[in-house]
Amino acid sequence: MSTVFGKVVKLILLERFGPVVEQVGSYLFQYGTNPLLYIMKYTELPLSKIKESLCILIKYNLVTFVTNKNENLANYTLKPDRILLMLRYPKYNNLIKKKFGDESEMIIEEVLQRGYWTASELILKVIERLKKNEQATSVSLVKDKFKSLVVAKYLVRMPYPKDDKPVPDLQIQDNELYIFPDIDNKILAQINAGAESMDKIPDKGIYWTINFDRFHQDMRDKIIVTAFTKKIDDNAGKFVELLLRQMYIRTMPWADSSNPVPILEIKDIIRKQETHKQLLAFFDQYVNVIEQDNSNLIRKAGEASGGSFQIFMKEAFIQFAWETIEQIVLEKYDSKAARIFRLVKSKKHIEPDQIQKLAMIPAKEAKRLSYLLLEENFLQIQELKKSNTNNGPNKTFTLFHINLEQVVRMTLEHCYKTLFNIMTRKNHEKEINKRIIVKKQRVDTIAMDMREKGAEEGQISDIEEMITPPEREILERIDITLKKLNTVELEVDETIFLLQIYLMYQ
């Protein structure tokens, strides 16, 4: 929870919810849990606006509340980590699109845009959207898609109030989380046709929201699979993918290490699928190679039934974090520094003299680079004093070592800083070119209006020519810049995700 993180959260809120919500959000970030009146006192916003923004923040599950000592009042707490996830929304969408198809993606998109919604309303909305795109649908199809999302735990039921209190105490039993309510297709069809009003929906008050953990689980698996695909080949990736799938049958998804998975099971699946012939032919070799890989993902647990393997998620992610940091050092300070970094890593604790010898870098440069890494906090030093000599100077040993967790946390801070810089730059870019951007928007709306009314092409092109060529050039340039910045935003988030998972396993 650093200042930079706070600034990033602030900018994310500003971009999506506007200045008022942003003020309330950053107040809550800075001062922690607070009641309504304190927020009003310090933000100096009108009460109605604060209430509205709190409602919005609660709606998107960015703020939680608990009862105050006075039962009529509530204390509000911001969830900054949850706000950071908003940068990842497109990835959630894409993940579902790949796995379940367009209808499911729309369902997820609607839920993300609204925070939570009832199943019936969601289904109706998706049908409406599909109709607009002129795709064939039916109530039962969309409902089945919705159901499969619930069964796969991508959607989860919202906690609901048990009794009528001024500050509701939202709770939900574990067994209710993924139970889909009975919805009659007929009623939905009737509402859809306009024969019944929206009030008639059968599942009033049963709201569904996104289960981010489930998405993160998929994304975590994807990281592991891509790592092996890149390092070895497609077949190895497939093997790891199947291994993870079999793991879920026996183990909780976020366990540090899994229960043993019999290897024959995976072989059988590959034989049935018949897509990876090579993997089947060289199965034992692949298992060997992956077992000996330095990511330590799998380890043999027993010899029975052809051998069974345990999966070590935690160790794999420690390895991934190391590799990420090594890569960062390489890109920042070049290969010689990276070599020193790796040397310190492999030796755990090492003296400066030894670095010079073992890294085979000239003494002076080795010293400069190791001090540079120390200054940038990628290396740490530990001093050992030998105090048994009474005459002469005390001999001290200086040992370099790496505290991975600290380095990861620092790198995360760097990522936040990068995000902040990118967003600031983006806002600056928009601000200085505001006039042209607004003009472009206006011209676009007018042209679209005319097109809808069936105006002639000539008239429309007249309107569009109101933007002069130099302006057009500027617009193109802004587009390219913004696209670049947005891309970086998405990419930085990947690194953040990996490092966060590493920290989670610690």
Partner 1 sequence: MSRGRGARGGGRGGVTKSFNREQLNALGVGGNDMLPGLVTQPPPLFPLLDKRPVPIHISLELDYLLILKQDFIDHMQLSGSYLKLPETKSNESEIVPQVPKEKYDWSLFPSELRPKMMARRAKKVVVKDVDVNNRLKLLETLEEKQSADTTIKQEKESEDVDETEIVEEDQDEEMDDGTDYANNYFDNGEDYEEEDDNLDDGPIY
Q: Where along the sequence are the contacts to partner 1 (CB under 8 A)? A: 15-21, 35-38, 46, 48-49, 51-56, 58-60, 65, 68-70, 72-74, 89-91, 93-94, 109, 112-113, 158, 160-161, 164, 166-168, 170, 205, 207, 331-334, 393, 396, 438, 442, 483-484, 486-491
Cβ within 8 Å of residue 136, ≥6 positions away: 130
Q: Which is nearer to partner 1, 151 or 363 (CB)?
A: 363
- Please name which of 139, 116, 124 lies closest in space to residue 206, comparing C-alpha atoms: 116
Can you give 144-157 as a three-state secondary structure string?
A: HHHHHHHHCCCEEE
**Rounded distance, CA 93 to CA 77, Å?**
27
Q: Which is nearer to partner 1, 96 or 412 (CB)?
A: 96
Neighbours of 458 (CB within 10 A): 7
Q: Which is nearer to partner 1, 64 or 500 (CB)?
A: 64
Q: Which is nearer to partner 1, 133 or 346 (CB)?
A: 133
Least distance between partner 1 and beta carbon 225 (Å): 16
- Enumerate the H helices of 60-134 as residue ranges: 80-84, 89-100, 102-114, 119-132
Distance of CA 506 to the CA centre of its chain: 18
Query: Using N-to-C axis directions, what is the helix angle for 119-132 and 185-193, rounded to 10°?
Result: 50
DSSP label at 88? G
**Rounded distance, CA 145 to CA 97, Å?**
12
DSSP code string of 427-474: HHHHHHTHHHHHHHHHHHHHHHHHHHHT--HHHHHHHHTTS-HHHHHH
Q: Which is nearer to partner 1, 113 or 294 (CB)?
A: 113
Distance of CA 297 to the CA centre of its chain: 22
Least distance between partner 1 and beta carbon 98 (Å): 9
Least distance between partner 1 and beta carbon 236 (Å): 22
Q: Which is nearer to partner 1, 52 or 233 (CB)?
A: 52
Least distance between partner 1 and beta carbon 124 (Å): 16
Residue given tokens 């004093």 in the structure block: 385
Q: Which is nearer to partner 1, 108 or 183 (CB)?
A: 108
Least distance between partner 1 and beta carbon 398 (Å): 10
CA-to-CA dists, residue 258 to 48, 205, 222, 245, angstroms: 51, 38, 17, 12
Q: Which is nearer to partner 1, 269 or 490 (CB)?
A: 490
State phi, psi for 162 to the nearest 5 degrees: -80, -45
Q: Which is nearer to partner 1, 7 or 426 (CB)?
A: 426
- Please name which of 181, 188, 187, 205 lies closest in space to residue 128, comparing C-alpha atoms: 188
Q: Which is nearer to partner 1, 393 or 470 (CB)?
A: 393
In a 3-state reduction of DSSP, which class is residue 260?
coil
Cβ within 8 Å of residue 498, ≥6 positions away: 223, 317, 320, 321, 324
Least distance between partner 1 and beta carbon 438 (Å): 8
Buried b (16+ CB within 10 A) or exposed e, 163-177: eeeebeeeeeeeeee
**Rounded distance, CA 503 to CA 506, Å?**
5
User: What token pair was written down for 420?
Assistant: 């902040």
Least distance between partner 1 and beta carbon 113 (Å): 5
Least distance between partner 1 and beta carbon 37 (Å): 5
DSSP label at 65? E
Q: Which is nearer to partner 1, 327 or 461 (CB)?
A: 327
Nearest 5°: CA angle at 128, between 124 and 133? 145
DSSP label at 139? H
Least distance between partner 1 and beta carbon 105 (Å): 9
Least distance between partner 1 and beta carbon 345 (Å): 21
Neighbours of 71 (CB within 10 A): 10
Least distance between partner 1 and beta carbon 410 (Å): 18
Least distance between partner 1 and beta carbon 279 (Å): 25
Q: Which is nearer to partner 1, 15 or 323 (CB)?
A: 15
